[in-house]
Amino acid sequence: MKLRSGRPSALAPAPRRTPLPNHAEDPVLDLAVPVFNEEKDLEPNVRRLHTHLRDTFPYPFRITIADNASTDATPEIAARLAGELPEVVSLRLPEKGRGRALRAAWSDSRAPVVGYLDVDLSTGLAALLPLVAPLISGHSDLAIGTRLASGARVVRGAKREVISRCYNVLLRCTLAVGFSDAQCGFKAVRRDVAERLLPLVRDGEWFFDTELLVLAERAGLRIHEVPVDWVDDPDSSVDIVATALADLRGIARMRRTLARGRRRTGPVAP
């Protein structure tokens, strides 16, 4: 595990322990599961996640199923799970986009720590407590799972491996980022930090993660990285080409935005 931080900024909070809720039943962690047409995997994987948290997580939690415009039985399954499992709630959005789903779920939460993971549970759940603990203790502001750091164990095809590594190299070359894995679907953030960052994030789809992290690092916030076990989902419905093109457009937009900011404020002192 390692800690990355960017340049100091007024956005960066002073280190402090995350305040826990006053009532034992209030969640400390609100974990969003963004979904689109996931009628096959939703129920077994949410039940598996719920069991893991119930049996291993030492604080109250909530799972928010954030459905963004599914056209299959996903909304009905989500509503049924919310009715059967006391720590599960469902949220229905009329428009697609993982970033939109996360923005809505996190903005609606009062838990001191919010996060998300992909519904396919490609990331090993054993990393969940190490992901969240530094945020609860006040050690870090954001935490990300990484498949590209020492200690990570990854099973996936050569094509996805090459694309992932090339994307993160591109980020380092174009936006000078220090974090190792922008797109692993396994992240958490302190809610007070999210409240300040979310109004600055423009993307509502797959680039949401990258934009959030770049803004956080530029603000001097502390990003904690957790190497994860990760197994590729061969049935993933993600359109790799469309996602890659959207990411490239997002990088270009951020470069323009950051360049305009430098011209207005001048060079940043080392």
pLDDT tens digits, one per residue of 129-154: 999 999 999 999 999 999 988 899 99
Higher pLDDT, residue 119 or 257:
119
- Whole-number mean pLDDT of the chain? 88
d(CA 2, CA 144): 10
Q: Which of 9-13, 70-74, 78-82, 148-152 has the lowest mean pLDDT?
A: 9-13
pLDDT attached to residue 211:
96
- HSE of 94, CA atoms in CB hemisphere, 13 A: 0
User: Is there a catalytic annotation at residue 26?
Assistant: no
Q: Diameter of the chain by CA atoms?
A: 56
Q: Which of 209, 233, 239, 247 is catalytic?
A: 209
Higher pLDDT, residue 142 or 21:
142
User: How many residues are present in the chain?
Assistant: 270
Residues 169-178 pLDDT 10s: 999 999 999 9
d(CA 89, CA 240): 30
d(CA 45, CA 118): 10
Residues 223-255 pLDDT 10s: 999 999 999 876 665 667 788 888 889 999 999
Q: What are the domain boundaries of the chain?
A: 24-265
pTM for this model (two decimals):
0.86
Q: Please state which CATH class domain 24-265 belongs to.
A: alpha beta
The encoded tokens of residue 92 equal: 């229905």
